[in-house]
Amino acid sequence: MEKSASSCTFWLPRKKRFCANIRSHESQFCGNHNPKFEAQRIPCPLDPSHLILCENVEAHIKVCPFFKQAQSLMLQPFYKKGINSGREEDAVLGNVKEVGTLVNGSEDIITSVMKRNAVYKMTVFEFYELIRKIEAVYVSTCSDIRESFKEPEACGIWMNREEVDRNVPFQEKHVLQQVSILGNLEEFGVLENPTKLDGVVSSEYANKRPAVVEFGAGRGYLTQTLADCYGIKKILLVERNSCRLKADRSLRQKESLMLERLRIDIEDLDLNAVESLKGIPYLAIGKHLCGPATDLTLRCCIPRQTIGDVHSSDPCDLRGLAIATCCHHLCQYKQYINKSYLSDLGIKKDDFHAITWLTSWAIDADHGSDLSDLVDQGLHLSSINTEKKACDGVVSGVEEIVKSMTAIERAILGLKCKAIIDMGRLKWVKQLSGFTSELVKYVPSSISPENHLLVAKYR
């Protein structure tokens, strides 16, 4: 593609053209694409999807297109910075130092690279001790996660593509996940099949339909399935990023359906202050809530009066929840919802970060076949003969051990780590007054290795 002689020579793969900006002085690139500035760039504090030079932060904030949006958001009654970050929980546990760093904002996010480097710096003995701890914790706490693959009758119109907006994307693997999430909610008594045998909507059900809040909604197709199949009439979609090809257009065409979308980080959302939800029973759902988003969501939607054995006479507006967890390698200790669970198991902060990094191995293997039976077996690391090679000096360090492991061995260890993290979340919900809950595998790993679903019901 032709370009001006004075324009930047950086190729934009997505747009399939060169950058149209003017080159910087004595450079082949513009200021945005000059390689010598890469190390000096940081995420924009208003929108981390783009990078800026450290020295330009103050000036950039004034002209950033997200500035007015951020200002408007901060004026909303439901915006409360860091309300779901876990500070109150840490204060109850007596983690005074950590609370201080959270409040001051001086504690950085632990990245996957940092976690990997920490694991590789372990001694061989420390690494094997960590694996033994993972094995012991998995056996003692995670052996009863049952399979619960559902295709409810109410979702037949989606499975068979009947009476569904043809403009809505249809991918079988995503539909199977969506209908199974809803089927598990129905089995748990949170959702009710809205039709009788004669196809008439139950008047009793119609009068008590709960609203739905989808966290990390993305384009909103989980809610689209729910609205199509269960007749939901009030929907709130929570998503911090802008999305194309949203389900909103199709949802707004439904008669008498009320739809509201909030562009806000779950960490900053005070759900009790959302005017349209006040006093209304609702369901909380989420498909693939990445990393700490699951922990933030639980804090956001679980009523404060059920936490810490402090009970209120007010009824709970949350009727049930279904959260499909995802991307455990992004989890952060400071946001994890059940640190007392980790402490009781002897899992320290550094152990937790190592475990979260190991979860990324869960997708190493070919998931064309289910690994469920193998996961329940002990991990013997037969390919490297464990400590013997280390003692004989054949294995020099953890990185060499990791490279010697087979894809199946890595995947099994990663899946066990995922289960340990999610089991802590389940136990946190089980401790709450009035809730019954369960952690299930809602689809086979061949559909998605991210197949844990936390489902709960209030009373």
Type of residue at 246: K
Buried b (16+ CB within 10 A) or exposed e, 338-348: bbebbeebebe
Percent of the chain residues topping a pLDDT of 90: 43
Q: What is the pLDDT of residues 268-287, one digit of tens each?
A: 999 999 999 988 999 999 99
Question: What whole-number distance in Å separates Cα of residue 74 and Cα of residue 53?
Answer: 25
Interval 411-435: pLDDT, tens: 889 999 999 999 999 999 999 878 9
Task: Give pLDDT, residue 454.
Answer: 97
d(CA 365, CA 406): 9
The reported pLDDT for the residue numbered 314 is: 47
pLDDT for 66-117, tens place per residue? 777 777 888 899 999 999 987 655 544 455 444 333 333 335 688 899 999 9
Q: 16 vs 11, 231, 373, CA distance in Å?
A: 7, 44, 46
Residue 423: C-alpha distances to residues 112, 141, 270, 282 (Å): 22, 7, 26, 24
Model pLDDT, residue 102: 32
Q: Which pLDDT value is given to residue 64?
A: 84
Which of 172-181, 205-214, 236-245 is the least confident region? 205-214
Q: Which residue has the tokens 């998931």?
A: 367
- pLDDT of 247: 84
**Summary count for the chain: helices (H), strands (E):** 18, 11
Distance CA 367, CA 361 (A): 12
Sign of CA dihedral 246, 324, 441, 319: negative
Quote the CA–CA distance of 114 and 171 in Å, as a whole number. Answer: 35
Mean pLDDT (the chain) is 82
Span of 7-16, 47-56, 270-279, 388-397 with lowest mean pLDDT: 388-397
d(CA 50, CA 62): 15
Task: Please say whether the beta carbons of 157 and 164 come within 8 A.
Answer: yes
Tell me, what's the pLDDT at 384?
46
Cβ count within 10 A of residue 396: 11
Angle, CA of 142, 215 and 271, to the nearest 5°: 110
Residue 324, SS3 per DSSP: strand
For residue 60, the model assigns a pLDDT of 85
Q: Which two tokens stand for residue 41?
A: 């760039």
Indicate if the pLDDT at residue 149 is higher than 50.
yes
* Phi-psi map region of 423: left, alpha, beta (phi>0 left; psi -120 to 50 alpha): alpha
* pLDDT tens track for 153-186: 988 888 877 666 666 666 788 899 999 999 999 9
Contacts 24+ apart (CB under 8 A), 130-135: 130/351, 130/354, 130/355, 131/379, 131/381, 131/413, 133/345, 133/346, 133/347, 133/351, 134/355, 134/358, 134/413, 134/416, 134/417, 134/420, 135/378, 135/379, 135/416
Beta bridge partners of 215: 238
Bigger pLDDT: 425 vs 22: 425
Predicted local confidence at residue 376, as pLDDT = 66
Q: What is the mean pLDDT of residues 132-157?
A: 91
Q: What's the pLDDT at 309?
A: 43
Task: Considering only residues 48 and 421, tell me which one the structure prediction assigns the higher pLDDT.
Answer: 421
pTM: 0.81
pLDDT band at 47; cut points 50, 70, 90 = confident
Q: Flag whether pLDDT at 303 surpasses 70.
A: no
Backbone dihedral angles phi then psi of residue 261, each to the nearest 5 degrees? -120, 125
Q: Region 222-238: what's the mean pLDDT?
A: 91
CB 112 within 8 A of CB 330: yes
Q: 133: buried, middle or exposed (CB in 10 Å: 19+, 13-18, 0-12)?
A: middle
Q: Taking Cα atoms as reference points, which of 289, 291, 286, 288 lies closest to residue 331?
A: 291
Q: For residue 282, what are the β-bridge partners?
A: 211, 318
Degrees, nearest 5: CA angle 318-168-254: 60
Residues 6+ apart with CB under 8 A from 110: 332, 333, 353
* pLDDT, tens only, 351-396: 999 999 999 998 766 655 566 666 766 665 544 455 545 554 555 7
C-beta separation of 417 from 450 below 8 A: no
Question: Which of the pair, 102 or 253, is modelled with greater confidence?
Answer: 253
Higher confidence at residue 19 or residue 1? Answer: 19
Average pLDDT over residues 250-256: 85
Q: CA 91 to CA 96: how far, in whole Å? A: 6
